[in-house]
Amino acid sequence: MSKKKSQSTDNVVCRNKKAKFRFELIEKIECGLVLKGAEVKSLREGRASLEEAYARFEEGELWLIGFHITQYSHDTSRKYDPVRKRKLLARGRELSQLADKVQLKRLTLVPVKVYFNERGIAKVQIALARGKTVSDKRDTVKERDAKREMRRYEG
C-alpha cells in the first residue's frame, strides 16, 4: 500500500487568516519562493506575516509583494528590507494560464499560506480569488455562527 503524504500543519510557517473572509477562493496553486539565506532561517523560526501580501504579474513574472519576513535574530552581517518584493517560481504554462485568468476574469492573486514541503523547500500557496461584497461577508459570518451553535448543541 502506498500512502500519499499530506501537508502536515507542522511545516506551515504562516497563514493569511483573513483571505477566506475577504475573498472567494477559486483555485489554488503552489509556487516556489526566491529567498536569501537569512530569510530562510527567519522563516524556519516562524517570523513572517502574510496579512498585507498580494501577488502580481510584472513583465511576465510573478512577484509576491508585501510579504513581511522579520530580520533573522542571529544574522548581524547583512541587513535586508523585510517587505521587499520576492519572485515566485512556477511552471511557464501555469503562469500563462494564471495571467490570462487574472486579466480576463478580473481576479486577484492572494497568498494563502507559506510552508516548507517534505524536502525542506519554502513554498507559497497562491489562490485565484474574487473579492467578496459586504453582504457576502455578512453571510459568511452568519454561516460560521450557525455552525458554531450546531456544534454547541451536538456536544
Position 111 scores a pLDDT of 94
Which cell numbers in the block locate residue 39? 530569510
pLDDT tens digits along 101-137 = 888 888 889 999 999 998 889 999 999 988 888 888 8
- Taking all residues of the chain, what is their mean pLDDT, rounded to a whole number? 85
Residue 2 has pLDDT above 50, yes or no: no
Q: What is the rounded average pLDDT of the residues 96-103? A: 87
Residue 8 has pLDDT above 80, yes or no: no
Q: What is the rounded average pLDDT of the residues 31-51? A: 88
- Name the pLDDT band for 147 (thresholds 50, 70, 90): very high
Position 130 scores a pLDDT of 87
Q: Taking the CA atoms of 16, 22, 28 and 34 in sequence, report the sign of the dihedral they define.
A: negative
Could you give the CA distance from residue 141 to residue 96 in angstroms, rounded to a whole number? Answer: 35
Q: What is the rounded average pLDDT of the residues 70-97? A: 84
Q: Which stretches does DSSP call E strand in 1-155?
A: 12-15, 23-33, 48-49, 54-58, 61-65, 68-69, 86-89, 108-116, 122-131
Which cell numbers in the block locate residue 71? 530580520
All domains in the chain, ordered by first residue:
11-154 (2.40.280.10)
C-alpha dist (Å) from residue 140 to 24, 86, 107, 134? 10, 32, 20, 10
Position 9 scores a pLDDT of 53
Residue 139 has pLDDT above 80, yes or no: yes
